[in-house]
């Protein structure tokens, strides 16, 4: 389950920011997760609950924001949103797409106290 290592990475970022800025607690954590990131959100939610115990983010509300898949279509040269890596271009129906986004996961922001 790679979600556990993702959760540990999130905790590391939170701890780095806590050392830099000196906040006492994280009350809300918003994560952006791309459609193609391969993240199982229920597993990540469980992993975060476990990994954040005893940290400044224990008990924080975690919000996961879905980011769409994006691609460049070589047929119409448009940047489009796609639901599947093998989907045709929604604008022109072309099949020569290069995925360009949707595989990321990042902390969007945190509310701290």
Alpha-carbon gap, residue 78 to 100, rounded angstroms:
12
Domain of residue 30, residue span: 2-68+102-112
**The two structure tokens encoding residue 29:** 């954590």
Q: Is residue 50 part of a domain?
A: yes
Q: What is the per-residue pLDDT across 70-87, written as a single tens digit (0 to 9) for each?
A: 999 999 999 999 999 899
Structural domain total, the chain: 1
pTM here is 0.89
Q: What is the per-residue pLDDT across 85-112, written as a single tens digit (0 to 9) for each?
A: 899 999 999 999 999 999 999 999 999 9
Task: Find where tokens 């448009």 sit.
Answer: 78
We report the CATH number of the domain holding residue 24 as: 3.30.2320.50
- Please give the helix or strand (H or E) that residue 108 lies within, else none: strand 105-112
């Amino acid at each position: 389950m790679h979600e556990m290592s993702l959760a540990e990475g999130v905790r590391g970022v939170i701890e780095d920011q806590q050392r830099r800025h000196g906040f006492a607690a994280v009350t809300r954590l918003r994560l952006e997760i791309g459609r193609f990131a391969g993240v199982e959100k229920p597993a990540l939610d469980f992993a975060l609950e476990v990994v954040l115990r005893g940290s400044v983010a224990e008990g924080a509300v975690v919000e996961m924001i879905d980011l769409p898949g994006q691609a460049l279509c070589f047929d119409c040269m448009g940047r489009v949103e796609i639901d599947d890596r093998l989907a045709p271009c929604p604008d022109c129906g072309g099949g020569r797409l290069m995925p360009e986004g949707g595989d990321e996961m990042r902390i969007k922001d945190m509310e701290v106290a």
